[in-house]
Amino acid sequence: MASQKVIEALNRARARELGVVLQYMWQHATAQGLASPPVAGLFKDIAKVEMKHAESLAERVAYLGGEPTTQPDPVKKSADLKQMIQDDLDLENQAIKMYKETIQLCRQEDDPTSRVLMEDLLADEEEHAHEFGNLLGK
């Protein structure tokens, strides 16, 4: 059985994923301006990926004997499209850091299945950060 530390880390990741799903879907619905149509579509597409992440994490937590959290991280709201993208880039960079730490924890706790899951999620988060960074010219 997995350690409680791993279950807690996976649930923190799930809370993060639930929060960004809500944030990205809100942004998809509220983005305005000439540049908004393709960016709003990106918000929607990434929200779908993040929802799959949340579900994968829930399944893993349940398998390990934990209870998947239903509490999302807070949602940031902005009426400014550029600020939305910056907020999202910040969230993706925070996720990258968190997921790298969780991967290390899974190594320490000898949980290769959770480690592989987190490595897969990390790859997606790095891609999202790259997309948001490109939109901001970073």
What string of DSSP letters covers 6-49?
Answer: HHHHHHHHHHHHHHHHHHHHHHHHH--STTHHHHHHHHHHHHHH
Domain ranges of the chain: 4-135
Torsion angle of the four alpha carbons 104, 105, 108, 112, in this order, in degrees rounded to the nearest 10: -80
Classified as helix, coil or strand, 72 is coil
Taking only the tens place, the pLDDT of each residue in 67-79 is: 999 999 999 999 9
Cβ proximity of 117 and 56 under 8 Å: yes
Cβ proximity of 118 and 103 under 8 Å: yes
Question: What pTM, to 2 d.p., does this model score?
Answer: 0.94
Taking only the tens place, the pLDDT of each residue in 78-132 is: 999 999 999 999 999 999 999 999 999 999 999 999 999 999 999 999 999 999 9
Cβ proximity of 111 and 2 under 8 Å: yes
- Which overall architecture, per CATH, does domain 4-135 show? Up-down Bundle (1.20)
